[in-house]
Structure 1
Amino acid sequence: MNQSGTNPYTKTEAETDVLTAEAPSWQLVVWNDDVNTFDWVIETLMEVCGHTYEQAEQCSLFIHFKGKYAVKEGMYEDLEPMCTAILDRGISATIEELVA
């Protein structure tokens, strides 16, 4: 038993500092073209980004009708190899900073 009269489980202000700085967020953008088929884009998004068939299909429709679509958000270091893999498959992609 603690005889000093203080609760040993009470945290002091110094021990409960909250991390307030947020890491920058990025988005992986895939661009429409007149070369790649829906099936190829869907297959690529499933294999490279880990999308389900339904997610990849929705993304491909947005890409087709809007001209581009952010298919994934995250840290730059995580998106860069995905972007490279998409580019290696002949599909246009970029990484852009997510604007708040």
Structure 2
Amino acid sequence: MGVMSVALPDLGEDLRTTGSEQPHHPWQTVVWNDPVNLMSYVAHVFREYFGFDRPEAERLMLAVHHDGHAVVAEGAREQMELHTQAMHDYGLWATVRQAPR
């Protein structure tokens, strides 16, 4: 039987990042208040599409109603774009934005 050898990483390698690299900042799906949809419908959409429980769906719906908008999801840009399109398909006003730093 032969002896197995395992390659180990060079632990002396410099792993520091340069100042020009940007840290990852997630994106957000924002739902906006509109004059068309009932509050109960907005809460229903949040429960059906995102799977929020009733209290969370109602909290977000009230933020949309009182504050004019609510962040309903945060993550990779592509996923937020899919969520935004889904909100449009439900008839809600929604946009994608980069999360504040």
Counterpart of 2:4 in structure 1 is none
Counterpart of 2:5 in structure 1 is none
Counterpart of 1:29 in structure 2 is 30
Give the Cα–Cα distance (whole angstroms) in 2 for the partners of residues 68 and 21 of structure 1: 28
Go from structure 1 to structure 2 and tell me whether the alpha carbon gap of 1:31 and 1:21 turns closer, same or farther (over 3 Å shift): same
Q: Which runs of 5+ in 1 are unaligned?
A: 1-8
Letter aligned with residue 51 of structure 2: G
Letter aligned with residue 11 of structure 2: T
Counterpart of 1:43 in structure 2 is 44
- TM-score when normalising by structure 1: 0.76
More helix by share: 1
Q: Which runs of 5+ in 2 are unaligned?
A: 1-7
Match runs of 1:1-100 below 5 Å: 12-14=11-13, 17=15, 22-100=23-101
Q: How many residue pairs end up in the alignment? A: 90
Which consecutive aligned stretches of 4+ in structure 1 deviate over 3 angstroms post-superposition? Answer: 16-22
- TM-score when normalising by structure 2: 0.75
Q: How many angstroms does 1:24 deviate by? A: 3.0
Give the Cα–Cα distance (whole angstroms) in 1 for the partners of residues 54 and 63 of structure 2: 14
Q: How many angstroms does 1:17 deviate by? A: 4.2
Go from structure 1 to structure 2 and tell me whether the alpha carbon gap of 1:31 and 1:17 turns closer, same or farther (over 3 Å shift): same
Give the Cα–Cα distance (whole angstroms) in 2 for the partners of residues 99 and 41 of structure 1: 25
Q: How many angstroms does 1:21 deviate by? A: 5.6
Go from structure 1 to structure 2 and tell me whether the alpha carbon gap of 1:36 and 1:23 turns closer, same or farther (over 3 Å shift): same
Letter aligned with residue 46 of structure 1: R
